[in-house]
Amino acid sequence: MTEREMLELAAKAAGINLADHQPVLARDGQSYLPPVLGRWNPLENDGDALRLAVKLRLSIIQEEEFLEGVRYPTVEVMSEEREDGSRICAMQSLEVDASAATRLAIVRAAAAIQQAKEAQ
């Protein structure tokens, strides 16, 4: 799945209409779309990611996984319990950039929530 597809699914899950997010006007007067989908981009923006997590009532837990004696810091993002008792979960390593990893896990969980809705 591409970043754009993931963001579109995440937006749908949160009820965000991406048509409401206008292109940015550059200093030279030219309009352009930043990297993915206009101004709303929870992969790049902490505020957008937090609002997405709040809207979808996601739990965010930072943990440490141990594999063969090596510590791996991770973030786990989990949905509320679904009707069947299961939860949708996304996990990401925090080794390089904890903020970016957390944003990615939030968007991945949101996209998975929408995919599960569409599969019903």
pLDDT digits (tens, 9 = 90+) for 42-97: 998 999 999 999 999 999 998 887 778 887 888 889 888 887 878 888 888 877 78
- Average pLDDT along the chain: 81
Class of domain 3-119: alpha beta
pTM of the full structure: 0.77
CA distance 115 to 117: 5
Residues in the chain: 120
Share of the chain above pLDDT 90, in %: 32
Contacts 24+ apart (CB under 8 A), 31-36: 36/3, 36/4, 36/7
Query: Would you tell me how many other CB atoms lie within 10 Å of the CB of residue 95?
Result: 11
Domain boundaries, the chain: 3-119
Tokens in use for 99?
């903020």
Query: Would you tell me how many other CB atoms lie within 10 Å of the CB of residue 94?
Result: 18
Does residue 12 surpass a pLDDT of 50?
yes
Q: Which residues contact 2 (CB under 8 A, 6 or more apart)?
A: none
pLDDT category of residue 28 using cuts at 50, 70 and 90: low
